[in-house]
A = this chain, B = another copy of it.
Amino acid sequence: MDLRLDGAALTAWLVDTPSVSGEEGPLTDAIEDALRGLPHLTVHRDGNTVVARTTLGRAERVILAGHVDTVPIAGNLPSRVEGSRLYGCGTTDMKSGVAVQLRLAASVTSPGRDVTYVFYDCEEVAADRNGLLRLSRNRPDLLAGDFAVLMEPSSAEIEGGCQGTLRADVVVAGRRAHTARSWMGRNAIHEAGAVLDLLREYTPRQPEVDGLRYHEGLNAVGIRGGVAGNVVPDECVVTVNYRFAPDRTGAQAAQYVRSLFSAWPVEVLDVADGARPGLGQPAAAEFIAAVGGTPRPKLGWTDVARFSALGIPAVNYGPGVSEIAHTPGEYVEIGKIAECESRLRAWLDGA
């Protein structure tokens, strides 16, 4: 990895070094090697997470954090440039943000605030594998700070707070029988149609929280059922993902899902609280003043909620385009990479 590459070229290099969740080792090694060569940074490693810090004794410390993993590759590698855009798996979510972090880490040698750069693994999978969560348990001292910027895709606009997320299994039972005499049994897959009916009829809430309007969502993200090709199945499990606005707690979200699917047993698999935007807090307000623009609500769950739970105000701010994250056609506007970098550089230098 060559940190002298410009932001777009460095993003392309990161994208062409695949790092699907759980397979971040080689990319993490490259990041660690590159950062260990920089004398103004102290580098730590925890699993496939790397932390690099300035230790200048400044009055304040800020955190720039980003995840290095991506969703599964969907025929969208290697990266390619088309017009003003760079396409490929992870361009938007969020290797362009990681490129900005890396270039700032390499070149901002004497910032006005001490800076902690966090590069972490397993953000795109179940919450208990999240590298930032693991780091907060293993080395909470490395996450100390006054304010955090999470480099999640936001089109280089500040996005406040985040929605919570909950996954649950809705378990539909039936009774097995030979399909030649299906009236002797009860088909659990057919009955799961009633679960899908509720999902198709669902109307999302759009509450306003601290001045920003959120937009909820409830989706089946998995379905499985079947015993054999000639057996009426006795179980069908629908896995749902509920994205809830930050005016609801995780416990309230679980209560909602249980009551919606009250006809069946519901097993909550994991739940992560959202974060209220909290943009009126001093550290957040100062960042907004320095970077400019009008804050928007963050719809996706992001690790700002993890910083929020640690008592650290945090916002999302990155060059990617959140609306196309996790799609095979994801891309980043190349101009946003330099724009995001220069604004952050001005903020870090100017403080």
Contact = CB atoms under 8 A, between A and B. Distances in A.
A241 interface: yes
Contacts of A327: 176-178, 184-185
A187 B219 CA distance: 7
Contact of A181 (B176, B185, B228, B322): B322
A161 interface: no
B179 A243 contact: yes
A181 B187 CA distance: 33
A34 interface: no
Contacts of A223: 189, 192, 223-226, 236
This protein's copies in its complex: 2
Contacts of A341: none
Given A241-B230, A243-B180, A300-B178, A196 B190 contact: yes
A74 B176 contact: yes
A170 to B, nearest CB: 12
A5 to B, nearest CB: 28
Contact of A220 (B181, B189, B200): B189
Interface residues of A, number: 61
Contacts of A182: 217, 219, 243
A67 interface: no
29 contacts: A72-B228, A124-B230, A125-B228, A125-B229, A178-B300, A179-B241, A180-B217, A180-B243, A180-B322, A182-B219, A184-B323, A189-B199, A189-B219, A189-B223, A190-B199, A192-B196, A193-B196, A196-B196, A220-B226, A221-B227, A221-B230, A221-B232, A222-B229, A223-B223, A224-B224, A224-B226, A226-B239, A228-B326, A229-B269
A178 B328 contact: no
A325 B71 CA distance: 44
